[in-house]
Amino acid sequence: MDPYRVWLSEIMLQQTTVAAVIPYFQRFTALWPDVRALAEAPQETVLAEWAGLGYYARARNLHACAKTVQQDHGGIFPQSEAALLALPGIGAYTAAAIAAIAFDQPAAVLDGNVERVLSRVFDVQAPLPGSKPQLRALCRAATPQQRPGDFAQAMMDLGATLCAPNRPDCLLCPLSAICLGRARGTAADLPRKAPKPERPHRHTIAFLLRRPDGALYFRRRPEKGLLGGMLEVPSTDWRDAAWTEKAALPHAPHKAAWRMLPGEAEHVFTHFSLSIRAMLADIDAKHAARLNGEWLQPGEAKIPTVFKKMLRLLG
């Protein structure tokens, strides 16, 4: 199997559903059919095409990895797990998946679906993530020398279908005869998970600066940090305390007659949630030309979902 497509799909599928990934995968492979084409693409273009898929560090690492494969490996992915792990953005799971599926190496591919299958088959009672080392050892012991890529994909498919969360279909499962979780009546409760800490909540006010032609002002975020390198709607810091209009105004990208818009939006990140309010100001073309950034019609901007929610406050 083409290692480029295996790698691309695995990166996109990290914490993202197959349904969400399919149109992005199709668009990426149409625009950049091989690793060389992706490596030669401008990073801004790659980030723009990724907009809406979330977890944007993946896009930056994707581009960096393509450049490394092109520059250091002649455009050919290395076959060993160790060499794959040395590439930007490739962790233990992705390295094992590429090694097994693309190169038929006997690597232990352990994603969330496989963790669920193994937890049930071996009745692993220790909660995740603490049980990961045990599950990895079980996966390594179960992985065959012959057709390890097929085995990995079969285990992932089993976990995504018959051995699904909440309602495992044990009657149809090919592993039901050896499944300790089924025999002991614990399958539906596995894998156990440690309680998650409460997600912090933050606040921001977005600044929607509008030209006479309806275009809005966007700027690019710093390369490092959350949503690094992406186009953004200017806003205040994302902080714990709610912002007042007076406190927010010094953070505006331009001095203007700002007015608060009605309504509020909510966005949930992995580690915190965000309440968004917005202020609007109009600017003439002469002053707009002096600002560093990009002016785009609201429907043209390829931006992360959190910034799309800011634009929706325009009504």
What is the pLDDT averaged over residues 215-231? Answer: 93
d(CA 49, CA 41): 11
On whether the CB atoms of residues 271 and 200 are closer than 8 A, the answer is: yes
Token couple for 136: 């990895």
Neighbours of 12 (CB within 10 A): 21
d(CA 120, CA 107): 21
State the pLDDT confidence band at 166, using cuts at 50, 70 and 90: confident
State the pLDDT confidence band at 196, using cuts at 50, 70 and 90: confident
At the second CATH level, the architecture of 201-312 is Alpha-Beta Complex (3.90)
d(CA 119, CA 134): 10
For the chain, the average pLDDT equals 96
pTM of the model: 0.83
The C-alpha R_g of the chain, in whole angstroms, comes to 24
Token couple for 94: 């992705």
d(CA 231, CA 301): 8
Contacts by residues 93-98 (CB-CB < 8 Å, ≥ 24 positions apart): 93/10, 94/7, 94/10, 94/11, 94/14, 96/152, 97/6, 97/10, 97/152, 98/3, 98/6, 98/7, 98/10
Angle at 221 between CA 218 and CA 225, to 5 degrees: 155
What is the pLDDT averaged over residues 179-184? Answer: 97
| CA dihedral (8, 10, 11, 17) positive or negative | positive
Q: What's the pLDDT at 36?
A: 98
Neighbours of 21 (CB within 10 A): 18
For residue 66, pLDDT over 90 is answered with yes
Q: What's the pLDDT at 224?
A: 87
Q: What is the pLDDT of residues 137-165, one digit of tens each?
A: 999 999 999 999 999 999 999 999 999 99
On whether the CB atoms of residues 52 and 58 are closer than 8 A, the answer is: no
Instruction: State the catalytic residue, choosing from 10, 81, 115, 232.
Output: 10
- Asked about 245 being catalytic, the answer comes back as no
Q: What's the pLDDT at 61?
A: 96
Q: What's the pLDDT at 206?
A: 98
d(CA 240, CA 227): 19
- Assign 84 to helix, strand or coil: helix
110-195 folds as Endonuclease Iii, domain 2 (1.10.1670)
Q: Which residues of 232-258 are buried (b: 16+ CB within 10 A; e: fewer)?
A: bbbbbebeeeebeeeebbeebbeebeb
Q: What is the pLDDT of residues 227-284, one digit of tens each?
A: 999 999 999 999 999 999 999 999 999 999 999 999 999 999 999 999 999 999 999 9
1-107 folds as Endonuclease III; domain 1 (1.10.340)
Angle at 99 between CA 114 and CA 117, to 5 degrees: 5
Domain layout of the chain by residue ranges: 1-107, 110-195, 201-312
For residue 1, pLDDT over 90 is answered with no
Q: What's the pLDDT at 315?
A: 85
d(CA 77, CA 231): 31
